[in-house]
């Protein structure tokens, strides 16, 4: 009887927690997979909408890397565009080696934080980066983010569009570059 009582109490507590827990400020029941982002980060939602409407093909984008099942890779998820490093566990399931994952994470961090333009240029070329996203998540993830690098070097980066705190840059060597100059 004690085991059954504990099982019933444990199940009841878990059901109550799931039903009442607030994962997002406003719970909306919808099949619209981007609706949460429009509430949580409207600038990124607008950038995603812009990319979906204006970009043809499959350019590689650079965005912040972090733990899986979190806010990271939100641009790639909602546009279908490839990113340098998605959720590591998923990338590793698809054959990415541990060493390559580490190299990609270091490259992403260096592109966002390094003030060495030549090293940045080399990493952009090695990873085939076409577009760079700089938004709140990148600023929070890479506290030493060199935002001025993207603005002050038009020979490497061209601002394509901005929505509030979210900005999209195209790299100098991208085949998409001429379309946004």
Tell whether the model's pLDDT for residue 70 goes beyond 90: no
23: tokens are 């994962």
Cα distance between residue 109 and residue 142, in whole Å: 7
More confident residue, 39 or 2: 2
Rounded to two decimals, the pTM is: 0.81
Phi, psi angles (nearest 5°) of residue 131: -125, 145
The mean-pLDDT minimum among 7-11, 153-157, 161-165 falls in 153-157
Specify the higher pLDDT residue, 121 or 20: 121
Q: Is 170 exposed, middle or buried (0-12, 13-18, 19+ CB in 10 A)?
A: buried
8 Å CB contact between 84 and 153: no
- pLDDT exceeds cutoff 70 at 56: yes
Q: Which is more confident, 82 or 25?
A: 82
- pLDDT top residue among 32 and 125: 125
CA neighbor of 101 nearest in space, from 80, 87, 121: 87
Overall average pLDDT of the 47-70 stretch: 92
For 118-135, how does the pLDDT look when each residue is reduced to its tens digit (9 = 90+)?
999 999 999 999 999 999
DSSP class per residue in 14-33: HHHHHHH--SSSS----S-T
| C-alpha span between 122 and 13 (Å, rounded) | 54
């Amino acid at each position: 009887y004690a085991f059954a009582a504990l099982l019933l109490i444990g199940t009841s507590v878990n059901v109550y927690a799931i039903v009442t827990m607030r994962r997002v400020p406003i719970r909306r029941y919808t099949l619209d997979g981007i609706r949460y982002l429009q509430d949580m980060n409207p600038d990124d939602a607008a950038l995603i909408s812009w990319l979906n409407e204006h970009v043809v093909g499959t350019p590689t984008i650079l965005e912040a890397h972090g733990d899986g099942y979190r806010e990271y890779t939100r641009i790639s998820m909602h546009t279908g565009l490839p990113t340098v490093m998605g959720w590591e566990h998923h990338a590793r399931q698809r054959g990415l080696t541990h060493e390559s994952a580490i190299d990609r994470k270091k490259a992403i961090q260096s592109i966002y934080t390094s003030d060495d333009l030549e090293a940045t240029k080399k990493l952009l070329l090695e990873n085939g980066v076409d577009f760079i996203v700089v938004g709140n998540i990148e600023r929070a993830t890479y506290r030493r983010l060199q935002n001025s690098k993207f603005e002050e070097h038009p020979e490497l980066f061209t601002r394509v569009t901005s929505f509030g705190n979210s900005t999209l840059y195209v790299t100098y060597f991208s085949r998409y570059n001429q379309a946004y100059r």
